[in-house]
Chains A and B, each alone.
Chain A
Amino acid sequence: MTAYIIRRLIAAVLLLLVVSVATFAIFFLVPRLAGASAEDLASRYTGKTANAEQVRVMAEKLGFTDPLPVQYGRFAKGLVLGADYSTGPTTEHCPAPCFGYSFITQNPVWPDLLDRMPVTLSLAAGAGVLWLVGGVATGVLSAVRKGSVFDRAAMGVALAGVSLPIFFTGLLALSLFSYKLGWTEPGGSYTPLTESPLAWARALLLPWVTLALLYAAGYARLTRAGMLETMNEDYIRTARAKGLPERTVVLKHGLRAALTPIITIFGLDVGLLIGGAVLTESTFSLPGLGKYAIDAITNNDLPKVLGVTLVAAFFVVIANLVVDILYAVVDPRVRLS
């Protein structure tokens, strides 16, 4: 088991390395291939008023004229150890992990990301719990009562849930519950959990439910299909032959086996969401990573985009790692192979 976890950890670190190289290449190699010069990149820092000489000096100072591998090395070093920038008379230290400075605000990227992370984390965690519980429960009930009115209704709603985009259901929910009924704030009013748990939950309730509805639908269908398959297995017949009550047969024997693929997808979904629930955050004006990414892309603010991409990739890799380890906990056959 320990060897298995260590193997997975090493794989995760290697994967992160590959992702960082690939991301860096996309942001710095591709513009160069498209014809952008080092000065073009540097001009984003100097502003429009700078003359050509000033831009050239800046490009050299920022290292944009160095070969790409050297630039990547410096970038990676900044991530691990921090970096020093001497942009003017003073040298500024950017502590690790250093993602560089925004083109627009000149602020370091990392503290911004740190600010946004709790919002997205809260959103993903809350919605994740809701959709996992709701989706799996609906799926199990549907499978057990296959063909019943409940099954048909639930699967109908699930189909609608999967098909309706978040900016539709989200806006609908906002206009009804926030603007018309006034039950919740109309978005953009995030309060940290540590300040006031109640205000935190109140502000996130609508985004949670809207986001959960989208995912729960898929999970219900997935659980239903998995349960229908598992409930035909020989070991379910054995469980019944022992004289176990149907409830135990379904939950302890059936669901346990059907849960494995659901855990995998749940891990990946949550990992992706923590990297930025772009649509949800935009719809509800939540100041999370997704909103940050959208703003960065709109402003062509490369260091910000690079930072948020790497953080998102980091969360997906971590989620994968957690799923792999959970897999071994759930399925004893994985532990040995």
Chain B
Amino acid sequence: MSLPVVVSDPNAPEVFLAVEDLRVHFLTDDGLVRSVDGLSFQLDRGRTLGIVGESGSGKSVTSMSIMGLHRVVESSRAGSARIQGHIWLDGEDLVAASPERVRRLRGKKMAMIFQDPLSAMHPYYTVGDQIIEAYRIHNDVSRKVARKHAVDLLGRVGIPRPAARVDDYPHQFSGGMRQRAMIAMALSCDPELLIADEPTTALDVTVQAQILDLIRDLRAEFNSAVIIITHDLGVVAELADDILVMYAGRAAEHGAAEHIFRAPQHPYTWGLLGSMPRLDRARAERLRPIRGTPPSLINVPSGCPFHPRCDYAELTGGDSLTDVPGMREIGPGHQIACHLDAEQRLRIWRRDIAPKLSSEGTA
């Protein structure tokens, strides 16, 4: 199972971010939780990847691994993470790098926006102080210069009267303004990789749209690589170039956003799209939730982890019960992990799925 750990740079891929066979396991009192189990994907500068999946599919754990935010402890103490595989960021393997090295990259080369902007900002420090702190830890500048930078950033993310609001505390900001301030903080050191973990989930619908617009504008301005983590397909539809659908700590489907939305190939993706509320479908069959519940990550189902919930599992002739499907290429840049062959998928898509998705869903 375990791969030889190669640290030398010649092995580094050319792409800006490459996650290779990432495994993140947590030791708990109940057993080993396989939160991420063999995940690979790549991302280039200026591109946006949307990672989609239900709660517990390993989306956030993946992003926390890239940021190096898991507590990695060698001992068998409960709660500590074991991380294997490679996370190549600009030619450097973050899994093999020292925690101190990763800390220096954190906030500078890669930055993160969190879900709930109220709890994610320190209640006892002003918004300005928190942005100044993020900037000064990586840049040797005076407080005055950093403060000016913070005011600039707040203005850039659309906070009115930034020179006055910079001295406000987070609780004096509205939810949308707090998320703008979080984004300003994440952008303070011009990160090359920006990870947004459910950036709009805690916000009002009207504010959500503004924040998504802001992220899109900033991406164009900074030319960063962006990872958007969400369970809301609407969000990735707005922003992502590529989409990675995760299930039980693995990739289920990966491809260009266009392909995923217009011609999804994995039964789980079909389920996700079917459970997305849409107005252009008849009300009676508008929502079709995926049956069953997300699997336990301690006792992951044998074979294809999705098989207990899959409507087409019996078509695989028992393969899905015993064999773990690997990711395979089914089109240009489009990969799925599914035992169904192309003919079966096309038939099911034409007969069952496409008519129930939107009118333009036929590919």
Query: Footprint of B on A, CB under 8 Å?
Result: 147, 233-235, 237-245, 248, 253, 256-257, 330-333, 336
Contacts and interface: CB of A to CB of B under 8 A. Distances in A.
Q: Is the interface of A mostly helix, strand, loop or mixed?
A: helix
Interface residues of B, number: 29
B112 interface: yes
B124 A242 contact: no
Contact of A238 (B77, B105, B108, B121): B121
A243 B121 CA distance: 15
Interface in B47-95: 67, 69, 77
Contacts of B133: 242, 244
Contacts of B121: 235, 238
B227 interface: no
Contacts of A235: 119-123
13 contacts: A234-B116, A235-B119, A235-B120, A237-B114, A238-B114, A241-B107, A243-B105, A244-B103, A245-B103, A253-B122, A332-B126, A333-B169, A336-B172
Interface in B134-189: 134, 137-138, 169, 171-172, 182, 185
A243 B114 contact: no
Contacts of B120: 234-235, 237-238
A262 to B, nearest CB: 14
B250 interface: no
B124 A330 contact: yes
B106 A234 contact: no
B104 A243 contact: yes
B354 interface: no
B300 to A, nearest CB: 27
Q: Which of A147, A235, A238, A333 has the largest number of chain B CB atoms within 10 A?
A: A238
B252 interface: no
Interface of B: 67, 69, 77, 103-108, 111-112, 114, 116, 119-124, 126, 133-134, 137-138, 169, 171-172, 182, 185
B119 A233 contact: yes
Q: Which of A244, A256, A257, A330 has the largest number of chain B CB atoms within 10 A?
A: A244
Given A234-B120, A239-B122, A242-B185, A147 B77 contact: yes
Nearest to A333: B171
A49 to B, nearest CB: 67
Nearest to B138: A243
A181 B41 CA distance: 71
A247 to B, nearest CB: 11
Contacts of B67: 241
B97 to A, nearest CB: 13
B122 A241 contact: no
B291 to A, nearest CB: 33
A234 B111 CA distance: 15
Contact of B111 (A241, A253, A257): A241
A336 B116 CA distance: 23
A272 to B, nearest CB: 27
A243 B108 contact: yes
Contact of B123 (A239, A243, A245, A257): A257
